Structure 1
Amino acid sequence: MKLPEYLNTHVVVLFVVAILIMAGLGVARPDIFLSVQNLQSMLLQTSVIGLLALAVALTLLTGGIDLSVNATANLGSIVTANIMAGMVAGQLGLPPELVALVGVAVGVGVGMLCGLLNGMLVAVLGYSPILATLGTMTLFTGIGTVITGGSTLFGISTFATIGRGTLFGLPIPALIFLVAAIALAFMMHGRRIGFNIYLYGANPVAARYSGINTRRLLLAVYALSGALAGLAGMINLGVTNSANVDFGSSYVLMAILVAVLGGISPLGGVGKIVGVIFSVLILQLLSTGLNLVFQSSGSNFLKDFAWGVTLIAVLAFGALKSSHFTNLLRLGQKADDRLKGGTEA
């Protein structure tokens, strides 16, 4: 049976693995793991890292990478917290909901500007994506440190209420991540820009000769990556009601892990966005499940161990599948050559 365009075998495997892990943990600790509070907590924790993973995945599909996503998220939340605090202190008489809405627009806008800077360095100046975004990561962190003076800023109560609120029993941040992932998947498989991104990631030379404006494409990709990172910063500000430059220091590596585990090739041009949804769910299930089953100081080590084993296992399966597929192609090519040779004779 042919899978839909937005799915592949890797995504199906991730879905099955997520179901098996949930079933196993449900049997091991049904009293805690299957509780509504625990499920809501897990979904809430996937939102920030999930959005950062989407941002990284998008750049990986072009054969590049964005190492500045967490610094972008933190800078967006810092600027937003400053502006909202100023609007409240200025006693402008604006409704808190409007102040929060302005804050979201500012945070996402800051993220997009940061992404555009990355895009200019990569697409216009020709810098290596790793070096360019490594440099801007330090730059954005430095700007955030100057703004905060190294201290923590706080948001407003309305923003925190939204960040910790629920809709239809699901955390609002988790719904935002899900909507963003679905919209991005639709863009990648239902719009021409998605086709261009896959083509550029698979073969940049072919993309140029096909008439694609590669500079504009990369600028759009990195701007969207920055916007997703800025949105992640807004969610973090809403959940924690605080912003600082040191938040989520390990989130960049986690975002890369989630994206690669989701089937996004670091070489570009291969992978499905839907896989990121299941991969971040799998890592959160392992993290929460191991903390519940092994309630000890070694649970963090077991979590990292489980993440590593899961990533290696999934990558090994993908390599085995790819090797098997390649062998089948070779056998088919040999058979075709023999038939042609017999016909010519």
Structure 2
Amino acid sequence: MKLLKTIRLSKENTLGFVLLGMFLLMALFVPNFLSAGNIKNMMFQLPEFGILSLAMMVVIITSGIDLSLTYRAALSGVIIAMALSAGAAIPVAIMFGLLAAVLCGLLNGFFIAIVGVSPILITLGSMILFESISLGLTKGNSVSGFPPEYRVIGNGAVGAVPISLLIFLLVAVITAMLLNRTKWGRGVYMAGSNPVATLFSGINTKRVLLLVYLYGALLTCVAAVIMTSRYNSARVDLGSSYLLQSVAAAVLGGTNIQGGYGKVIGTVYAVGIFQLISSGLNLLGTPRTFVSVLMGVILILVLMMNYYYDKLADKKETAGAAA
């Protein structure tokens, strides 16, 4: 009975049932939802969004936020694209993109972890910086002309499963293992819950935070590779629509916006829910602007629900301590 109660009250398991129920509703009431073309499109669209959402989730667990996330991915993608169009080998081009992403992550991590600047302030500034660098490199144009082998990453499949989806699943497993089975992962949760207590417990909080932003940079580079490969081009606004959606997916997935809690499986379920909503509404002919509005409404509702849930939990804890 205790196990059943735990399963019933779990945020992540609840989201899993919501995802399943939403899939069934879409299958029953949305024309062509189960068509091979639509299923294929969802499988190819989900990985890039999912990887960026996982990167955002790790940052939010530390009570931070990364507003430069998608702009760093765009800069990384632009550098990869320019290297490829200049004739560089695929591994070399990806290494250039990874180096750019890591340097961007180091910039954010240094000012947040070492200097102590607020994450929202420094990432707002670096967002503008990364966008300006991308704009200067591309002159506002898209960069294209990739070898066919590179396009396989974002458009190829192993059987019926896209390669990009396999990459996303691998990234999700690695992220879950790092957060749940390493000393660094425990430090990430502790830093989000109580940074002062974490410091006095002997954990190097600065190192933990620096690695958080470096890991986020690594994931944005992976997403950039998938996006540039799938679209066969790179531009300044590459993946920009995923910025607030990644925050919404992380929060909907159960990650506490104030830090200290978050699970990979919850974020994966939330990404699936957003993908179903987007695909279903597109099939119904809903304007894209309405889909964006709906995403914003969902984010606000989830934040409000989490706020009142936390207040109720605090009241229960206070009442229990008084008793």
Please report the TM-score for the alignment, with normalisation by the length of structure 2. Answer: 0.91
Partners of 1:141 and 1:320 in 2: CA distance: 37
Tell me which residue corresponds to 2:28.
27
Matching of residue 18 in structure 1 with residue 9 in structure 2: no
Partners of 2:52 and 2:274 in 1: CA distance: 14
From the superposition, tell whether residues 23 and 86 of structure 1 become closer, same or farther in structure 2 (CA, over 3 Å). Answer: same
State the secondary structure of the residue aligned to 1:238: helix
From the superposition, tell whether residues 121 and 326 of structure 1 become closer, same or farther in structure 2 (CA, over 3 Å). Answer: closer
- Flag structure 2 segments of 5+ consecutive residues without an equivalent: none
Matching of residue 175 in structure 1 with residue 172 in structure 2: no
Tell me which residue corresponds to 1:185.
176
Tell me which residue corresponds to 1:48.
48
Partners of 1:132 and 1:324 in 2: CA distance: 33
Tell me which residue corresponds to 2:257.
266
From the superposition, tell whether residues 161 and 60 of structure 1 become closer, same or farther in structure 2 (CA, over 3 Å). Answer: same
From the superposition, tell whether residues 8 and 219 of structure 1 become closer, same or farther in structure 2 (CA, over 3 Å). Answer: farther
Measured after TM superposition, the shift of residue 242 of structure 1 is 0.3
Tell me the number of residue pairs that the alignment of Structure 1 and Structure 2 aligns: 319
Post-superposition Cα deviations, 1:220-264, rounded to whole Å, max 9, x if no partner, equal 110111111111111111100101112233321111111111111
From the superposition, tell whether residues 163 and 272 of structure 1 become closer, same or farther in structure 2 (CA, over 3 Å). Answer: same
Partners of 2:74 and 2:297 in 1: CA distance: 30
- Flag structure 1 segments of 5+ consecutive residues without an equivalent: 89-98, 336-345
Q: In terms of Rg, which structure is larger?
A: 1
Tell me which residue corresponds to 2:38.
38
Tell me which residue corresponds to 1:230.
221
Letter in 2 for 1:76: S
Tell me which residue corresponds to 1:284.
275
Aligned 8 A contact 1:107 1:231 in 2:
no
Partners of 1:300 and 1:83 in 2: CA distance: 33
77-86 or 231-240, which moves further after superposition? 77-86
Letter in 2 for 1:129: P
Tell me which residue corresponds to 1:58.
58
Aligned 8 A contact 1:182 1:274 in 2:
no
Tell me which residue corresponds to 2:295.
307
Selected match of 2:129 from 122, 132, 139: 139
Post-superposition Cα deviations, 1:155-197, rounded to whole Å, max 9, x if no partner, equal 3221112210112411111221121112101111111111111
Partners of 1:146 and 1:316 in 2: CA distance: 40
